[in-house]
Structure 1
């Protein structure tokens, strides 16, 4: 997928340490699945001791196939997502567009928020056979083609609300000046009530949360890149005062902005 390395790793906390522990690559979605799927991600690691990775996740649903036989669907994670890896292994993941999983789920995506389901719970018992084949397949391109085949076999009818939901999330992430739901409504011409309904049904988290998560990802990325004037950064991200920003940052990352910045940049 396109974009800079920093963009591709957005949300991965302590990115320098992460890059030393695992290799993350991405591939685009096939054109026929692009309405639902944002792309694939592939994680490889070979470690002498376990590593715990924390991620400030995006408002997206993921389908993943991991070494050891685990095939699962992960809904939007409101807090920090933490995963431990050890030994040697691989995960092949499908990242859905914001809203893109709604037609597969056939229920509001908010019902999946904060939950992890086995693949059979959404795609049926027969999906287990395909999942096992994906996990066992040593060739990444072949594994990705098997995953695409699974999605094609269950591909729903096009839903125009998926494009609308994805466009609204893109407006948030692409415009740092959007700091409040009222500003999103003004920028997109979608009234607040419809925004709330659409985000609950298709995205899995409210627009206020999506805005705040995007800005917190931005804060973490800036802190990892260079020292910051925290009061200035807090104001740019829409906080009334530095203390409120510090509380949110600490709750999101597990450490204060200053300490996170120092640790993320330490050699």
Structure 2
């Protein structure tokens, strides 16, 4: 979530860990509650994850958003999201996860009509803990068979995003001991975004996180740390996605 200090005044965000049976599929659950007196656009620099979101008027599955995710908040409301581990939504669907990229699809297409009633129950629940419990009650009987490739891909994403300075796809493939073509094919099938996008997004997350800490940032040094050839490349990359240069974002 971008501009976290600004949004903290009227948006509450908390996270909840999944139970043991769901941990191989779900990274965490997230709950957002807001209360605004006038419309406000919240902005999120998305990770390479698919989300099941219980919201009004109906639950949705969100594919990987490869641009900047913007949601307009009005009045009071709340949503509960299921953030699947990278690659680990694939066992729930018959299509490549790349086919879901930048799309919002009714959750009934993946989980049947019962997910609509579960959505209503989740949003009526008494607090986030009960919302998560109802979500797990719904998901547990519907878990697909374990997919070892999905878990392998989740591990791949974790390994390469833990190194923001990893810049090129061929470097990532070498680190993972597979060919570049195989890596690209696996990411299209399971992740929903290319390895190049995942590497680029990890660098932007690190740049935004540094800015959010509130201290002065040496952008030239950060560009070097993240593998950019110079500061101007970092500025162009950040501005193209976030909409403002990193120094202006940090001041805001």
The TM-score bracket by the shorter chain reads over 0.9
Could you state the TM-score of these two structures normalised by the residue count of structure 2? Answer: 0.95
Once the two structures are superposed, residues 80-105 of structure 1 have per-residue CA deviations (whole angstroms, 9 ceiling, x without a partner) of: 00011121111111100001100001
Is 1:96 equivalent to 2:84 in the alignment?
yes
After superposition, give the CA deviation of every residue in 1:168-205 in whole Å (9 maximum; x if it has no partner). 11012212332221221222212211111111100000
How far residue 243 of structure 1 moved from its aligned partner, in angstroms, is: 2.2
Identify which of 201, 208, 229 aligns with 1:240.
229
Q: Does 1:45 align with 2:34?
A: yes
Runs of 5+ unmatched residues, structure 1: 1-11
Taking only aligned residues, the RMSD between alpha carbons, in angstroms, comes to 1.4
* Aligned pairs (5 A) from 1:56-67: 56-66=45-55
Q: Would the aligned equivalents of 1:39 and 1:96 in 2 still touch at CA under 8 Å? A: yes
In the TM superposition, structure 1's runs of 4+ consecutive aligned residues that sit over 6 Å from their partners are none
* 1:89-148 deviation per Cα after TM superposition (whole angstroms, max 9, x unaligned): 111111000011000012210010010011112212232122221122233222212211
CA shift for structure 1 position 57: 0.3
Number of positions where the alignment pairs a residue of Structure 1 with one of Structure 2: 251
Say whether 1:15 aligns with 2:4: yes
CA distance in 1, matches of 2:101, 2:138: 23
Q: Which residue of 2 aligns with 1:189?
A: 177
TM-score (norm 1): 0.90
Q: 1:165 offset after TM fit, Å? A: 0.8
**Aligned CA distance change for structure 1 residues 177 and 245 (closer, same or farther; 3 Å):** closer
Query: Does the Cα contact within 8 Å between 1:69 and 1:132 map onto a contact in 2?
Result: no
- SS of the equivalent of 2:119 reads helix
Query: Which structure 2 residue ranges, 5 or more long, are not aligned?
Result: none
Q: Where does residue 78 of structure 1 map in the other structure?
A: 66
Distance in 2 (CA, whole Å) between partners of 1:246 and 1:39 is 31
